[in-house]
């Protein structure tokens, strides 16, 4: 069965956030000619005190929710475009969100010849973008705007793998029972060389796949695990032996 073609760019260009809000019958107050604000309608929102955390910029056609619950549920991402919004609202992939928008708003798809051309287009790598735009600096693995709460460093799985409770607490490792992509996994905080939290690695404790999960867009090759701790000791000529060994949780 041939897969339905999705033209993501056309969907984003032809469907506005205002259209999508009207589809869901969501009313926000007008803050300025390009800004809307109000209560967050996302199912990921559980912050009771954040009653005006949801913002929409109608000029850029983007949205954001500043609440900790939504940020945590989306691995640190505060907002996105119409595709991201529908993806969260419908609990589906971005591709399925685009298909829904195509159907809801009758977005035209390009002719078959153009479809094949779009499919074979090669996306620019960060290196190519940097070469074309040397003055634009893309931040890699930006620090997270949140910290996962409720991490259980006493979970039986840790003891099974030979990780003592004191060690788990020291490194912030533990079972995360909350919501989001890391729910039900053993989470391992990852910091950059400055000690800033940039991601959580989520290790499955059952037969779930993938075995290890990382936030979307996270570049593992740009971070050396526990380098921040090693740098604390380099002046003393000592490298800490309290590094979490890969064999402990592999």
CATH of the domain at 235: 3.90.980.10
Domain end among 124, 141, 170: 124
244 within 8 A of 229, measured Cβ to Cβ:
no
**Are 181 and 241 part of one and the same domain?**
yes
- Looking at the fold, whether 104 and 192 belong to one and the same domain comes out as no
Q: How confident is the model at residue 242 (pLDDT cuts 50, 70, 90)?
A: very low
Round to whole Å and give the CA distance between 43 and 63: 15
Give me the pLDDT at residue 148, please.
Answer: 87
Name, of 40-49, 102-111, 116-125, 223-232, the range with top average pLDDT: 40-49
pLDDT tens digits, 191-222: 998 888 999 999 999 888 889 888 877 888 88
What phi and psi, each to the nearest 5 degrees, are found at residue 188?
-125, 110
Q: What's the total number of domains in the chain?
A: 2
Indicate whether 107 and 173 sit together in one domain: no
Rounded to an integer, the average pLDDT of 126-139 is 52
Residues 113 and 198 occupy one common structural domain: no
Q: Which two tokens stand for residue 84?
A: 């991201």
- In this structure, the answer to whether residues 115 and 188 fall within a common structural domain is no
90 and 13 within one domain = yes
Helix (H) or strand (E) holding 199: strand 197-204
- Is the distance from CB of 92 to CB of 47 less than 8 angstroms? no
Is 138 within the bounds of a domain? no
pLDDT by residue (tens digit) across 79-93? 999 999 999 999 999
- Name which residue leads in pLDDT, 10 or 234: 10
Claim: this prediction has a pTM higher than 0.75: no
For residue 225, the SS3 value is: coil
Q: What is the structure's pLDDT at 134?
A: 52
Q: How far apart, in Å, are the Cα atoms of 24 and each of 42, 86, 108, 178?
A: 11, 10, 22, 27
Residue 143 within any structural domain of the chain: no
Q: Which domain holds residue 174?
A: 156-249
Q: Give me 221's structure tokens.
A: 């090759």
d(CA 8, CA 15): 11
Confidence of residue 32 (pLDDT cuts 50, 70, 90): very high
pLDDT above 90 coverage of the chain, percent? 41
42-69 pLDDT per residue, tens: 999 987 777 789 999 999 999 999 888 8
Q: Provide φ and ψ at 131, rounded to 5°.
A: -70, -40
Each residue of 170-197: pLDDT tens digit? Answer: 999 999 998 777 889 999 999 998 888 9
Query: HEC states along 23-71?
Result: HCCCCCEEEECCEEEECCCCCCCCCCCCCCCEEEECCCCEEEECCHHHH
Task: Please state which of the ranges 38-52, 86-100, 126-140 shows the lowest mean pLDDT.
Answer: 126-140
Q: Is the pLDDT of residue 28 over 90?
A: yes
User: Any idea what the CATH number is for the domain that residue 30 is in?
Assistant: 3.90.580.10
Query: Is residue 95 predicted with pLDDT exceeding 60?
Result: yes
Residue 2, domain member (yes or no): no
Is the pLDDT at 1 greater than 50? The verdict is no
Cis bond before residue 244 (omega within 30° of 0): no
CA distance to 14, 24, 35, 38, 128, per residue, from 32 (Å): 22, 22, 5, 13, 37
- Rounded to the nearest 10 degrees, the angle between the axes of helix 82-90 and helix 94-104 is 100
Average pLDDT of the chain, as a whole number: 81
110: confidence class by pLDDT, cuts 50, 70, 90: low
Q: Which of 181, 188, 205, 212 is nearest to 93 (CA)?
A: 181
Helix residue ranges per DSSP H, 91-219: 94-104, 112-120, 126-132, 156-160, 165-171
Backbone angle region of 106, left / alpha / beta, with phi > 0 → left and psi within -120 to 50 → alpha: left
In this prediction, residue 215 carries a pLDDT of 82
Least confident range from 38-47, 124-133, 143-152, 237-246: namely 237-246
- The verdict on residue 1 lying in a domain is no
SS3 at position 188: strand
């Amino acid at each position: 069965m041939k897969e339905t073609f999705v033209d993501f760019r056309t969907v984003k260009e032809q469907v506005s956030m205002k259209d999508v809000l009207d589809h869901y019958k969501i009313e926000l107050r007008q803050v300025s000619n390009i800004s809307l604000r109000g209560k967050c309608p996302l199912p990921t929102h559980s912050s009771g005190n954040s009653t005006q955390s949801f913002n929409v910029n109608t000029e850029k056609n983007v949205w954001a929710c500043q609440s900790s619950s939504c940020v945590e549920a989306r691995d640190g991402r505060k907002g996105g475009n119409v595709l991201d919004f529908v993806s969260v609202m419908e609990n589906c992939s971005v591709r399925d969100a685009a298909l829904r928008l195509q159907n809801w708003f009758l977005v035209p798809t390009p002719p078959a010849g153009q479809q094949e051309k779009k499919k074979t287009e090669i996306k620019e790598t960060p290196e190519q973008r940097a070469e074309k735009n040397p003055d634009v600096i893309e931040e890699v693995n930006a620090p997270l705007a949140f910290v996962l709460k409720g991490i259980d460093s006493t979970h039986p799985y840790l003891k099974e793998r030979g990780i003592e409770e004191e060690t788990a607490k020291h490194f912030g490792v533990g079972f995360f029972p909350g919501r989001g992509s890391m729910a039900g996994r053993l989470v391992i905080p990852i910091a950059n060389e400055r000690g800033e939290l940039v991601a959580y690695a989520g290790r499955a404790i059952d037969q779930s796949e993938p075995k290890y999960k990382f936030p979307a867009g996270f570049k593992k090759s740009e971070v050396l695990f526990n380098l921040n701790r090693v740098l604390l000791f380099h002046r003393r000529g000592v490298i800490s032996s309290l590094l979490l060994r890969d064999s402990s949780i592999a």
